[in-house]
Amino acid sequence: MNESLDIEAVRAEALRKLGRNIVNFSKIEAGFKYLLAVSQLEGTGKTVSDQLRKNQNRLRKQTLGKLVQEFNKNILGDASQSEPKPDFFGKGISCSFKVTYDNPDFLKVHKRTLASIVAERNELIHQNLALIDTSSVEDYHNLITLLDEQNPRLLAQLEEMRWMMETLRESWKAFKDLSKSPNFLQSIQSKQ
Mean pLDDT by runs of 10 across the 192 residues of the chain is: 78 97 97 94 84 94 95 84 59 80 88 96 95 94 97 97 93 84 73 54
Amino acid identity at 183:
N
Q: Please report which helix (H) or strand (E) contains residue 101, including its range.
A: strand 99-101
pLDDT for position 1:
47
pLDDT at 98: 87
| Global pTM value | 0.84
Q: DSSP letter string over 62-112?
A: --HHHHHHHHHHHTEEETTSPPPPP---SS-EEEE--EEES-HHHHHHHHH
93 phi and psi angles, rounded to 5 deg: -135, 150
